[in-house]
Structure 1
Amino acid sequence: MPGCPGEPLGDRSNAARPALQVGSRGSLEPGRYVWHPWPTGGPMPKTGERLTWTAAGSGERLEYATLEVPLDHTDPDGERISLALSRLRAGDPARRRGVLIGVTGGPGGDGGLGTGMPSRLAGTPLAEVYDLIGFDPRGTGASTPLRIEVTPTTVPFDSRPPDSVFEAMAADMRERELGCLRAGGDTRPHINTRNTARDLESIRVALGEEKLNFLGYAYGSYVGAVYGTMFPEHLDRSVLDSCVHPRWTWRQQFLAQARAVRENVDRWAEWTARRDNHFALGTTAALAVAAVEGVAAALEGRLGAAVRTSFDGIVGGLATDRSAWERLGLLVGALQAATAEGDDERTAALLAEHATGGWGARASEQWRQSVLEAVTLETEWPADLETYYADMRVCRERYPYGHGVLRAAPWVGAFRTFQSPEPPTVLARDGYPTGLVVQADGDPMDHREGGEALAELLGHHLITVEDSGDHEVYVLSGSNPRLEAYVERYLVDGVLPPARVSVPGARQAPPVPEDA
């Protein structure tokens, strides 16, 4: 998921879109839109469709099926696309309480577990009482794909690019959008959240279930909230984990990622400063960050921007993982020494040893981008490139870690070749039960403000995972018994935790003693 500030994910009329309002130049505070209601729901799925399930293999419990749905749900007799589904039947049929569908990844479901979701939940108490359902959202995985013409880039990724390459970066993104148009054509406007919610409703009908139970992670949290708004009578229990902000556009969501990574770096710096006897990076957070910046400058001066970019990525990745904080502190100290001594071989070895991955192109980029670039056009993007350039300068100075400036750079939305056929959904909870929101306070992908705002808006109970940089927390980020107890008691037994409760993160900072 790409983005520093943006706009809220609400609902508005296509006939009269409000002017874009971003924070003042040099600011990373989100702007606001005025939203207007839009009809919910839409044409109902055909009730006669049923699924044919096939076992994955001899002796396997996991089953697969395919469901055809309209590409355009307003034209149910028009072009059809297929959805790939999976199912793991409830382990205790006597206690079965329906189906639970899980959605991860995105925007759009790309990079998520898709049909692999039931297998990830197979060892939990949920698997005893629910038929666990997974699916590849429209355009992804084994469902009908949304294709893209992959266009070459002329500017390599630089976490702190000079102004001189801004226009070339924008031109690369323009070509990317045109490549999406050439390959995705008329399909792209129909790859959006509201249609994914309608697909969920089609799945419910095909399963013959009165209601769905839902577990949504990251973009899946937004899908679940939209489904509940559009089809409240058919949503039972829901858990939304690592949440998209309900009032931000995708640009704001991207921009908040840069802030979140920097907040994790600042927390690491505070922790390190209290242990200066061990790290020798300074007795204040400012001094620890200055040590990081000194290494970044030395790397660029000796080995070039690409090596410094790799270091910025390592800093962002390790600062997010509390269990890696000691590792990061020792790395910064070792790089200080290696660069001061001019030992380029040692410097390269240290960076290779600590590389976190994820800072280059992916082998599956063709499929990931095609859906990402469609779904994120649900909301407005500035057409004025100077808006992006101003925010890029802010990110370059204050938020260079992780993917840094890419979070503020022009996106395909600046050159959009289609308008969404309908506005985003004004989220509400009117007619379905109180659910749970799970949010790590240091989530680098979906800023903690999103979970807090979504819980407040929907009246859901909020579990804050404290001092944690985890993203997609329940089960997917490792064992966290206290969190698991709250989530499972709710989904299995219907017992909600207190309205606001906190649990510690699963991955804690190493037990390095503070200075006396």
Structure 2
Amino acid sequence: MKRITVLVAAAVSLLAGTAPAGAQPLGADSALDRFHHQRLDWKACGDKELDAAGAQCADVTVPLSYAEPRGRTISVAISRLKATNSARRRGIMLSNPGGPGGSGLGMMLAVKQRMTADVVSRYDLIGMDPRGVGRSTPVDCEWPVGTALRSSGADRAAFDRTVRFQADLARRCAATEGALLPHITTRNTARDMDVVRAALGESKASYFGWSYGTYLGSVYTQMFPHRSDRVVLDSAVDSKRYGPRMFQDMGEPNEAGLDDWAKWAAARDAEYHFGTTARQVRAFVEDLVRRAARQPIRVGEHQVDQHALPLMLFGPLADSRHNALLASAVRTFADAADGKPVRPGPELERDLRFLLNPEPATQNSAQSAILCGDVAFPRAPEWYWRNIQRSRASQPVYGSFANGIAPCAFWAPPVEEPTTVRNSVPALIVQATGDTRTAYASGVDLHRAMTGSRLVTLQDVRIHAVFGNYPNICVENTVNTYLRDGALPRADLTCRDD
């Protein structure tokens, strides 16, 4: 309700030369004129779902380095679902699905399903593959695995193997994509977003982001506060936690999520045979991880060891609607460990193949490229080992992952300092208390840092990414009202599961 006051204050701040720290200088546009005024060639996306929805796609030319805008250029792919009522159209809504490293061209197809007709009538919904991802000059470090995410294992020998594994991934990236890597950063993606805004002829851009997309969106508000319109940040990352702390924050909520799932599975012991109490089910899972440490579990063509198994359980744990999917995966791994012939279901096969045997189109070295390009991680392996050891008692399944070493420990230093988000740009922050990927406290902290924001809490639900993903009338009404009218709630709001 204080939107007008906040905007006036922001305008005064900009005119006085006191824009938020990290904001782009107001005179920086002149060197980018040729990018801001480029003409886009809209065409069919070549994607079944986007084309069926009537979307169009275009490639936007941006500088590889914004420090040298007259140097090499790259292209960024965007999609557009046009506003359904040109007379009521407000502008564009940029978006990002998270990751980092997620392809966003088709993201708004899902989000649109939870938007009311009067919201859909007002915005051109813009999907985007961020630089380094998908169709946007993709990073491919020629890794033998799909992602660097791994648990560090049960003992020092396993940890030392993980150190060597991560160092090798970093070496491969430096060898194959060394010239590109310094420019694959969140700040540059935010700059690309602003080029997209200008190329589409808009003075401002609204934004919707999930997960890492909330970090990107909040960085955009810090760098371009006067160009930010209506902003929704769903399952939020606070800028002060982005990096190693963001991963450490995952340990506790994933253990809590495992406890929550264990209660569900215990009530279905007749089907899954893990145990009749939550404690027995948890003990079953912990023992399964220990068995993978003693002997990798063969599932189909895949060998699942102590480094991979916790990650295979990590995915479905993020959504309580996937309880049965997680139980089926645990049953499959347990049967395989017992020597029984098993065939993984299609979802498990897809996840195994991505983690262990990726196709060129599914490899995700861009995730590490963005993280490591944004933030300097501690370099000493002992720092990670000490944190892992401290976490083992309270986080027996996920502590070795959440505190583990990453390729970033062996990466070249970032070319820019990371962005600290602290501003009064109006925004709506949505956060579930049971989120296993972006801890609830992270959303609370971002809310405090963005003083013009309101926080919508989804209470006692284990879900990551709410609006457009997990149906909830309270959240949907609040988000749609804000996007339609620009009216934030009068105060922070708590929603309950429907």
Smaller-chain TM-score bracket: 0.7 to 0.9
* Alignment correspondent of 2:482: 490
Q: Which of residues 91, 106, 109 is equivalent to 1:116?
A: 106
Quote the Cα distance in structure 1 between the aligned partners of 2:293 and 2:219: 45
Letter in 1 for 2:407: V
1:443 aligns with 2:438: no
Q: How much does 1:224 deviate?
A: 1.0
Quote the Cα distance in structure 1 between the aligned partners of 2:444 and 2:473: 22
Quote the Cα distance in structure 2 between the aligned partners of 1:498 and 1:275: 43
Letter in 2 for 1:406: F
* Alignment correspondent of 1:41: 24
* Alignment correspondent of 1:407: 402
Unmatched runs of 5 consecutive residues or more in structure 2: 1-19
Quote the Cα distance in structure 1 between the aligned partners of 2:369 and 2:285: 34
* Alignment correspondent of 1:427: 421
What are the Cα deviations for residues 231-255 of structure 1, in whole angstroms up to 9, with x where unaligned?
A: 1111111000111122114111122
Q: Which of residues 214, 233, 244 is equivalent to 1:240?
A: 233
Q: How much does 1:395 deviate?
A: 5.0
* Alignment correspondent of 1:390: 386
* Greater displacement, 290-299 / 482-491: 290-299
Quote the Cα distance in structure 1 between the aligned partners of 2:203 and 2:478: 25
1:219 aligns with 2:212: yes
Quote the Cα distance in structure 2 between the aligned partners of 1:156 and 1:40: 32
Q: How much does 1:377 deviate?
A: 3.6
* Alignment correspondent of 2:364: 368
Q: How much does 1:121 deviate?
A: 3.6
Q: How much does 1:383 deviate?
A: 1.6
* Alignment correspondent of 1:95: 88
Q: How much does 1:205 deviate?
A: 0.9
The secondary structure found in structure 2 opposite 1:465 is: strand
What are the Cα deviations for residues 275-301 of structure 1, in whole angstroms up to 9, with x where unaligned?
A: 999999466x55553354356557777
Q: CA 1:335/1:152 → structure 2, altered by over 3 Å: closer, same or farther?
A: closer
Contact 1:379 1:424 in 2 (8 A): yes
The secondary structure found in structure 1 opposite 2:229 is: strand
Q: How much does 1:214 deviate?
A: 0.6
1:209 aligns with 2:202: yes
What are the Cα deviations for residues 354-394 of structure 1, in whole angstroms up to 9, with x where unaligned?
A: 95863533435775213533433422211211112223334
What are the Cα deviations for residues 395-427 of structure 1, in whole angstroms up to 9, with x where unaligned?
A: 55543546x5333332122112x2222201121
What are the Cα deviations for residues 469-508 of structure 1, in whole angstroms up to 9, with x where unaligned?
A: 2222211x243232211111110122323422222346xx
* Alignment correspondent of 1:511: none
Q: How much does 1:186 deviate?
A: 2.4
Quote the Cα distance in structure 2 between the aligned partners of 1:220 and 1:79: 26
Contact 1:194 1:226 in 2 (8 A): yes
Quote the Cα distance in structure 2 between the aligned partners of 1:295 and 1:448: 29
Q: How much does 1:230 deviate?
A: 1.1
Quote the Cα distance in structure 1 between the aligned partners of 2:142 and 2:347: 34
Q: Which of residues 436, 444, 448 is equivalent to 1:456?
A: 448
Letter in 1 for 2:444: E
Quote the Cα distance in structure 2 between the aligned partners of 1:388 and 1:65: 43
The secondary structure found in structure 1 opposite 2:368 is: helix
Contact 1:139 1:371 in 2 (8 A): no
How many residues in Structure 1 have an aligned counterpart in Structure 2?
455
* Alignment correspondent of 2:11: none
Contact 2:432 2:466 in 1 (8 A): yes
Quote the Cα distance in structure 1 between the aligned partners of 2:73 and 2:406: 30
TM-score w.r.t. structure 2 length? 0.79
1:52 aligns with 2:41: yes
Quote the Cα distance in structure 2 between the aligned partners of 1:106 and 1:373: 11
Q: How much does 1:274 deviate?
A: 9.1
Quote the Cα distance in structure 2 between the aligned partners of 1:97 and 1:190: 32
Quote the Cα distance in structure 2 between the aligned partners of 1:311 and 1:469: 21
* Alignment correspondent of 2:58: 65
Q: CA 1:389/1:352 → structure 2, altered by over 3 Å: closer, same or farther?
A: farther
Letter in 2 for 1:115: L
Q: How much does 1:206 deviate?
A: 0.8
What are the Cα deviations for residues 415-447 of structure 1, in whole angstroms up to 9, with x where unaligned?
A: 12x2222201121224x3x22001121222211
Quote the Cα distance in structure 2 between the aligned partners of 1:51 and 1:223: 24
Query: Which residues in structure 2 correspond to 1:130-169 (within 5 Å)?
Result: 130-150=123-143, 160-169=153-162
Q: CA 1:317/1:213 → structure 2, altered by over 3 Å: closer, same or farther?
A: closer
The secondary structure found in structure 1 opposite 2:405 is: coil
Unmatched runs of 5 consecutive residues or more in structure 1: 1-36, 507-516
The secondary structure found in structure 2 opposite 1:496 is: coil
Quote the Cα distance in structure 2 between the aligned partners of 1:299 and 1:425: 40
Letter in 1 for 2:403: A
Contact 2:45 2:56 in 1 (8 A): yes
Q: CA 1:164/1:467 → structure 2, altered by over 3 Å: closer, same or farther?
A: same
Quote the Cα distance in structure 1 between the aligned partners of 2:489 and 2:155: 50
Contact 2:210 2:465 in 1 (8 A): yes
Contact 1:467 1:505 in 2 (8 A): yes
Quote the Cα distance in structure 1 between the aligned partners of 2:127 and 2:287: 47
Q: CA 1:212/1:391 → structure 2, altered by over 3 Å: closer, same or farther?
A: same
Letter in 2 for 1:413: C
The secondary structure found in structure 1 opposite 2:421 is: coil
The secondary structure found in structure 2 opposite 1:67 is: strand
* Alignment correspondent of 1:177: 170
* Alignment correspondent of 1:322: 320
Contact 1:148 1:366 in 2 (8 A): no
Contact 2:187 2:219 in 1 (8 A): yes
Contact 2:286 2:396 in 1 (8 A): no
Letter in 2 for 1:120: A
Contact 1:99 1:133 in 2 (8 A): yes
Contact 1:106 1:372 in 2 (8 A): no
Quote the Cα distance in structure 2 between the aligned partners of 1:367 and 1:296: 25
Identical residues among aligned pairs (%): 30
Q: How much does 1:177 deviate?
A: 1.0
The secondary structure found in structure 1 opposite 2:442 is: helix
Contact 1:264 1:469 in 2 (8 A): yes
The secondary structure found in structure 2 opposite 1:115 is: coil
Q: CA 1:317/1:212 → structure 2, altered by over 3 Å: closer, same or farther?
A: closer
The secondary structure found in structure 2 opposite 1:132 is: strand
